[in-house]
Structure 1
Amino acid sequence: MVHLLNADRYYIDTLRGDRPGPLNPAGGRATAVEFATERAEVDDWLVQFCETLTPQALSRQISIPWPDRTLTETVADTLLHVFLHGQHHRGQVHAMLSGTSVPPPQIDEFSLADNGEARVEDLAALGWSEARLTQ
């Protein structure tokens, strides 16, 4: 999860047009609360950024520094990568938790339109409602 948070920060920097800082594999968050706070800040930024996007903004080209070259990608393709990367690693964590006494979170039926009861607690934690999802 630290890798995922660091990677999301890296891509947020590129989406903002900033030069991304180096990834910190160790994390640097001293407590679970610090990690959760930063994760929420990153998620909030991504949601707000996506809510403002236009077709023109999605097609904008950005530069992503890579170890051996600079990638040129659209905002749309970069966001697709960010979200698939996140789903991949969240799936890994889900699988790891499934082998423990800690129940894994619901991640696979969250967005089904007729399955609102599966997301009530998650929406409440975000301060969201079903009405916000349909805006």
Structure 2
Amino acid sequence: MISPEYCCTMAQYNAWQNRQAGAAMAKLSPDELSLDRGAFFGSILGTANHLLWGDTIWMSRFAGLPAPSVGIKESAKLHGTLAEWQAERFRMDGHIQVWAEGLGALDLTGALTWFSGAAQREISKPLATLILHFFNHQTHHRGQIHAMLTAAGQNPGDTDLFLMPETGRG
């Protein structure tokens, strides 16, 4: 279904897109970042926080990193400022890239079982499906952030995968 190379490419794409979004977010005031724009997680910063929360919870399951300090219901408030978010986003993107670069084909097989706080039950799914979900979740919420930034008058940059700059990784 997926390969280590796919994971490396998506990790690179994730970091590139987060850098672009962060640069556009930095052009907005704290009030503009926190303005409720009618998205599921309210504001640009709230959605960015939820996305970082999601990456953190999945990396706790995939790579043994610490889980987020708050639950999903508080995920939009994970970090109160853009500077805090940017620092943690940078760190998490590095963790994701290192994890992806260390994957072998066998690491993508089998199932993962965990207790889902969102579903309030134990879940077991194929690991490859969960990794697809992980990268799809990123793209979904970054699309929301992109739309909100565009509506706020910012240019969050290209999102097409084929336009991603070469990084020399993978």
Partner SS for 1:105: coil
Query: What's the CA shift for 1:26?
Result: 4.3
1:33 alignment counterpart = 83
Aligned-pair identity (%):
27
For these two proteins, the number of residue pairs brought into alignment is 118
Give the aligned residue type for 1:53: L
Q: Distance in 2 between matches of 1:80 and 1:16?
A: 15
CA displacement, residues 66-98 of structure 1 (integer Å, 9 cap, x when unaligned): 233211123322111011011001111111222
Q: Residues 98 and 18 (structure 1 numbering): CA distance in 2 closer, same or farther, change over 3 Å? A: closer
1:63 alignment counterpart = 113
Q: Does 1:15 align with 2:62?
A: yes
Match of residue 96, structure 2, among 36, 46, 56: 46
2:168 alignment counterpart = 132
Q: Residues 131 and 14 (structure 1 numbering): CA distance in 2 closer, same or farther, change over 3 Å? A: closer
Note the aligned Cα RMSD (angstroms).
2.3
* TM-score of the pair, normalised by structure 1: 0.74
Query: What's the CA shift for 1:10?
Result: 0.8
2:131 alignment counterpart = 79
Give the aligned residue type for 1:5: L
Partner SS for 1:53: coil
CA displacement, residues 12-57 of structure 1 (integer Å, 9 cap, x when unaligned): 1111357845333243423211101101111111111111111111
Q: Distance in 1 between matches of 2:140 and 2:129?
A: 16
Larger RCO, structures 1/2 (Cα 8 Å, 6+ apart): 2
Give the aligned residue type for 2:88: E
Give the aligned residue type for 1:59: T
- The gaps in structure 1 that reach 5 residues or longer are 120-129
Q: Distance in 2 between matches of 1:93 and 1:131?
A: 24
